[in-house]
Amino acid sequence: MSYDENQHSPRPRRTRGTLTVVIAALVPSALAGWLVWLAMSGPDDSEPQKVLPLPSGQTTAGKPGPDASDTPSPTPPTTSAPAPTPSAPPKGGAAGPLAGKVVVVDPGHNPGNFKHTSEINKLVDIGTNRKECDTTGTSTNDGYTEAAFTRDVSQRLRTLLEKQGATVEFTHDNDRAFGPCVDERARIGNKAKADAVVSVHADGSAAGNRGFHVILPALVSAGGADTTAIVGPSRDLGERIAGKFVRATGSAPSNYVGDGTALDVRKDLGGLNLSTVPKVFIECGNMRDAQDAALLTSSGWRQKAAQGIADGIGSYLTR
């Protein structure tokens, strides 16, 4: 997504020259990236996973009652007792560590945006200024679109979170011709009173720029935007997702954004500026780099990406 709001123009980004010797030594491999995040994400990332699903079919065994031969048959009542009212199922439809939590997943872009350029070019207020409603997103050199990627990963993510008992809402799910606009995406999370919102993306930078990064909201108070209450929680959410993403995928932090930390703070994204609940974006890799593209187009890797994001969300919500 290295674009203004959601559109990454395939422009190269410079690798900042302020990388420390320690980071430069740690990031050359996926294992090194894991060590970076193990150190930076705190004790939580070295603890056992907290979001594993309950074993299928697990029940609580009841104590056996007295033998029927030792107990006289009771006299049938003259009227039938009312049937007990069943307990309401937990949110998400399953018991688990995330039961009762609401997560909003925001698949970046929409496959239909290509056919609705006039609509998505409409300007909307993002607090700090006015930006395009939405953009088409980027694609690999072979034509695999960012919109297709984000939908696939988001659907996998929903399945993983619902297995943990979470209630998962999408900003869109093949139910709209285009969009929604970035301001509406923010409102959907706000209206849901989400415990966490994650916007899924892939970048469109220059070849040779590799790795993932998580975008955090900057401190913004302008117009209808006020991120004061969510900057801290969003950073916590983003750090945990980054740490778990390294572990699940083996990918290293971006070598062109974030100085090796995999974290990037921005104030030009309406989806973050207008959010009143903890929210981050994740750029899972660079679609314009052949090596990253090979990962992004792999079904097996996309499942790992979804797992890493789910683990990070679970770590944040069960902290």
How confident is the chain (319 residues) per 10-residue block, as mean pLDDT?
A: 46 40 39 45 39 36 36 41 42 79 98 97 97 98 98 98 98 97 98 98 98 98 97 98 98 97 98 98 98 98 98 98
C-alpha neighbours within 13 Å on the C-beta side of residue 196 = 34
Dist. CA 300–CA 248, nearest whole Å: 11
> Which residues are catalytic, by number?
283
Q: What is the reported pLDDT for 95?
A: 87
21-47+93-317: CATH number:
3.40.630.40
Query: Each residue of 241-297: pLDDT tens digit?
Result: 999 999 999 999 999 999 999 999 999 999 999 999 999 999 999 999 999 999 999
String of b and e for 55-80 (b: at least 16 CB within 10 Å)?
eeeeeeeeeeeeeeeeeeeeeeeeee
Sequence-distant (≥ 6) Cβ neighbours of residue 280 within 8 angstroms: 197, 198, 199, 214, 215, 216, 217, 234, 237, 238, 241, 272
Contact 2, 204 (CB under 8 A): yes
